[in-house]
Structure formats: C-alpha cells, structure tokens
Amino acid sequence: MGGDGNLLRVLCSRRTLLSPRENGLRWLIGAPLFLPSFNVVSSFRCIHYLHGDPCSPDFTHEADDIRTLLIRGFDIVGALLINDGDLEFNARKAAEASCMIRNYLSVNAEHQYVIGAAADLSSDTIQFFKYEMENFKHVESLRTILFETNPEKLVWEKGCLIRCELALKVPIYAPEKITSDMEDLCSSLTDLTIAELKDPSAAFLVERPTVNSDETSASIVLHGSDLDFGRSISENLSSTNNQKEPDIKDLACFQFCSKNQSFSFPSAQENADVIRVTMLSNRSRNIIKAGAPVAKYFPAEPASCAYANFMLDVLCYSSKQCSVASAISKLVVPGLIDQLITMKDAISPHLLTQHPQLKTYHFLPPGILHPITAIYDLRYGENEVGQRELRRSLHSRLGLSLDRPLLRIANALSFDTEADNLMRIGYPYLKNVHTQIPVSGVFEGIVSLVDGSYQYYHYLLDGMDDNGWGCAYRSLQTIISWFRLQHYTSIGVPSHREIQQALVDIGDKEPSFVGSREWIGAIELGFVLDKLLGVSCKIMNLRSGAELPEKCRELAMHFESQGTPVMIGGGVLAYTLLGVDYNEANGDCAFLILDPHYTGNDDIKKIVNGGWCGWKKAVDSKGRSFFLKDKFYNLLLPQRPYMV
C-alpha cells in the first residue's frame, strides 16, 4: 500500500510494546500488503532463546509457534529489542533477527524493508529505524511515529477475514513387518495432498455470510486454474482497482462483504466481515460436490492401515480491495498447507497408537487487534498438564495476564450466525446493567468497578416467585453468571433448589431445607461457591451498616485486584455490589448497588430510572441511611481463580 515511507503507524500502545519490562525481543507484527505505510499492529514476545541469551532467539522453535499463531495476511515486519546498551546497535540486532525469522517462516518479501527498534529497561522511549533487508548498512531513523487513536477502524473498515475449513482423512498403508516407515509414508501422502490443493481441477466455493435479513447471499466457484500462485498480492490489488468490469477471478473481497457494517469501538473486531471459502471435490467442471482432496496409496503386500485425520481451519486477513482469487492463492491455500504440515508433524509419530485429537481454534484476546490461532489436543481435556502449559506459554507470548482464562475453548470465536442466535436465546437475561447509569456525584473520586460481564438476576425471574425471601439467592446467581461469562466455569447458573441441595450435600442444612423458602446469607453463599465452582471467598464482618464507608478503600482494592461482584447481606436484605467511587482525601464515597428486589420486567430504562441499579451514598442528601445502622452486615468477596 502507498503512503509516506518515513511514517510509522503504531496501532498498539507503547505500554503494550514494552510490557513486561524485561530483556528480550518482541516480534513486530504488521500488514504491509494491506495497510498504509509502515505499520505495527501488534507484537509477540520471543519466548524461545538459545542458552537463555535474550539476544539469541531459537529461530526453529519460534517459527514453529508463530506459523500456527499468526493468521495469514499479517507478517513479522521487524523486531524490538529491550536491552541495555547502544540503541542503534540493538535496533540493528533486532532487525537482523526479524529477517532471520522471516526466512524461517518463508515470508514472501513483497516489501523491501524491516523495522528495527530498541528500548532500554529504564526508559519508555523507543527508537525505530528502517533497514533495507539486503543492506543493513542503509539505515534511516523513523522519526515520525503515529500512535493511532482508533486502530480498530483502520484495521477493520478496509479489511476482512476469510475462513476455510477442510476435513481430511488420509489412509496410510504400511507393510505389516515394517512399521518404521509410517512417518515417511505420512509425509509422502501429505505432499500429495498439498499438490491437490494447488491442482487446476480443485474448486473453491466463495460465499458471503448473511448478516442481515435484507441482504442477499453472494457466491462464486473458483477453480485452481483461476488462481495464480506466482502473482503477487500487490499486482492483484492493482488489477481490481483498474478494471471496470472484472473477470470472475478478479472479483474483489468487498463484493462478498456486508454492505451495512458498523465499526464503532469497541466492537469493530467482533463485527468484521468473514468470507467463507469451501474446497470442493471437482474432477470435472460439470460435476461439483462438497468434499476434500484424498490421497491414496495401495500396497502390493499385506499391510496395516492407519488413518490420519486432519481437521483444518484456517483464518486469514485481507484487504477488501484484494481479489478473492489472489486471497485464496496467496493466503488461504498457503495457510492450509502450513496447518496440514504442523498437524502431520504432531500426528505421524503416533499413528499406530492413540494419536493426538487436534482441533483448531481462533481467539481475539483483549488488547490484540487481530485474531490468533491455536491448535489444541483434545484427548485428555482442557485441564491436562500439557494443555495448561500450552495456554500459559501463549499467554506469556501475547502479554496476557496469567490469572485469567482467555484462551480456553469457551473463549474461541464463533463464526456460526445461527449458533450465535441460539446462544442469545439461551441467555435472555440483561447484562451489564450498570453501564447505563450516570456518574455517582463523588467529587474527584476514583471509580473501581466489576471487571467483566454479569447477568442481572432479580425477584420473579424465570417464573420463580421468591419475592420476600430470595434476594441472596439472586445475588448468588448474578455472581455465578460472572464466573460463567468470564469462562471460569461451564456449569449452568443454579436454581434456588439446586443452591439448597448444594448446602444439604455439604451437611450445612437438613434435607427438609430443599424446596423451602428459608433465607440464606453470605456464609452460605461462600459454601455454595466453594462446592459448585471451587471458588474461595473472603468474608468482611461489620457490626453496623454505618461502618461500610470505612471499608471503601478495601472494597476498591478488591475490585482492582479481583474484579468480582460482591454480595452484601444485612438484616433480611441482600444486595450485589458492583463497584465503589471513593475520594481518599476526604473519605466521600458511593456504592454501585445492583438490587435483586426488583420485580418488574427486564426494561433497562425502568430499572435505571427506578434506582434498582445505581450509585448509593451511605447517607443521602436528605439524611437517610441506605445501610441500616442497627444491623450486622456480612460482605462476601469472591476471589478470582488463578488459572489460564
């Protein structure tokens, strides 16, 4: 793409590039073929080093990881080295490392420059340089650095995603007495399959997803002979821009994108267009049927047979101006080949045993503008040690917190519109009601809020008449919904009866308690969270509601460090606390209360205007106390599990 050759656009924050502040390399990720000028969209930490030297990457292991993780359309465009010493010298070492990793990844160098950047451990300053890949003596300092304020729009307004799924079942025959050749046979058949992906008789169905009911679907079939694996993407961009009546193979991606797309922050990534590509079995252009290429080998003597199952799922990023044929030949097919080889290498040593059950998932972690891809082995479940360590490694590489489940299967992106609709039907409750309320009125206060999404459970919900006795049950349901929506658990939000049964099961209540209308309090809620979710809780005891303002600093620390909703129980009433607004200088404070005593329908305006979710002062302007002075209060502070 064109643009000022000395302007560098950085689409991630300086803090993201430098965090964590420790010696080592950061691979700079960009989309030089599709975005204007030099650009850095994100960064991946280098985590494999030779002999622990932060200046000596283990390029083989790094390339293997990044080949899976980074979706096609994004490339390594440079590197940042955080280390003491001369910044320009370190920047050159970073640029040389980026060229080396690009060679390992076989990046098609349609651009001639790489970015070398350097920072030291004690400063927030980053110096960027531009190097010719063939001549590291030719260096220019990039002094015009633009940190974009709306990077989501830049990436997704003119870009789209292309997804291709392909199921392969490859039969592998080997002489019964010579099983040592299985890996070689698997490699040979993989090579045959790769050849079929590029075969002129291969066919690809390209479809536009139906996002809105008023849009008609669009689809074409491209054949292998329509693709040009030697032509560069930049040449295809030129052809789609210049032709008034393009041939079918020159149709651009934007012709398969939604015409009514919105790109308002923070949902631009989630609203991105996704073009679906399906590979068809097509031995004759007159007969097309869905299927995958099949590689076969028939032995001439008694042989054992093993099947290698490959469930390929490739996601790519492309400019909407790029031709679909170019995107398939330069992004989709190479992505399928990379993923096939990666899976083959994992499966082939175990063909005669229980080989890995590999499945591909795509994620959009917080703070990263583009999806990433991970391949998980499903044989032993998500909590198996190897899977936990893989997720921990991915968290480390992406700079994600090590105490939050951001890359579990439940976090994976869903591209099925019908499934998404079914999910919405299954979760009809109001979410995140507090985002609609005005400010608290505390002058120069610091607001600390619940971190993440929750659902609002209140009286009479789900046809359950619990008016007058079920407020603590409803607060517990809201808390458990938070753990569900943050993917700490997959269990359903329990009913009143299931909550009661859990207390009976642990011996806290008699069997007659099940089905009763007896109240429960903070202590019982803690028992249930431990029983059903394995979540531990802290209990804060107060002799009077008048003491709550004294605990505001401690509650603020809870929301900053744990971020979970808090249950407040006093007398016969229970509330859910979602945050505090606290002025440490003068002690003024307000409490963000979600009230489970609401009995109306789920009308957000009615809830907010009626004060069922809102900021409450311990004593309001008329001298009325929200928290009762003559009642004991217990606050339940659930602790966020430390897990990935």
Annotated active-site positions, please? 471, 595, 597
Number of H helices, E strands in the chain: 15, 24
Amino acid at 345: D
**276 phi and psi, to 5 degrees?**
-95, 130
Tell me the CB-side half-sphere exposure of residue 6, using CA atoms within 13 A. 6
Strand duo 303-319 + 613-616: pairing: unpaired
Is residue 194 within 8 A of residue 338, CB to CB? The reply is: no
Is residue 577 within 8 A of residue 449, CB to CB? The reply is: no
Q: Using CA of residue 471, residue 472, residue 477, residue 482, what is the dihedral sign?
A: positive
Burial 378-395 (b: 16+ CB within 10 A, else e): eeeeeeeeebeebbeebb
Closest CA to 388 of 408, 372, 374, 371: 408
**3 state SS for 55-119:** CCECHHHHHHHHHHHECECCEEEEEEEECCCCHHHHHHHHHHHHHHHHHHHCCCCCCCEEEEEEE
List 581's β-bridge partners, or say none.
Answer: 447, 590
Q: What's the first-to-final CA gap in the chain, in angstroms?
A: 38
Cβ-based burial of 480 (10 A; exposed 0-12, middle 13-18, buried ≥19): buried
